[in-house]
């Protein structure tokens, strides 16, 4: 399953930190950002990815995040 999110992550170093954090929460997942997209897209591919949890985790880290359909 692939989940896609709109975020406000702007810097590459922020993306790397978030990816490392999310990999701890969702081990075995493939996670990447597209910071060139105007929506600063976060993609997570994995078996047990809960979009609500991702949004909550991102907000806990101080970032905006919304699941896209």
Task: Kindly report, residue by residue over 2-61, the tens digit of the pLDDT.
Answer: 999 999 999 999 999 999 999 999 999 999 999 999 999 999 999 989 999 999 999 999
Q: What is the CATH number of the domain that holds 41?
A: 3.30.70.100
According to the model, what pLDDT value does residue 55 have?
Answer: 98
This prediction has a pTM of 0.95
Domain count, the chain: 1
Question: What pLDDT is stored for residue 26 in this prediction?
Answer: 97
pLDDT of residue 37: 97
pLDDT band of 69, cuts 50, 70, 90: confident
| Secondary structure of the chain in HEC code, one letter for each residue | CEEEEEECCCCHHHHHHHHHHHHHHCCCCEEEEECCCCCCEEEEECCCCCHHHHHHHHHHCCCCEEEEC
The domain of 47 spans 2-68
């Amino acid at each position: 399953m692939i989940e896609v999110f709109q975020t406000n992550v702007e810097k590459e170093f922020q993306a790397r930190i978030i990816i490392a954090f999310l990999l701890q929460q969702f081990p075995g997942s493939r996670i990447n950002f597209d910071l060139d997209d105007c929506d600063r897209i976060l993609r997570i591919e994995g078996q047990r990815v809960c979009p609500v949890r991702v949004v909550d985790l991102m907000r806990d880290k101080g970032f905006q995040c919304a699941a896209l359909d």
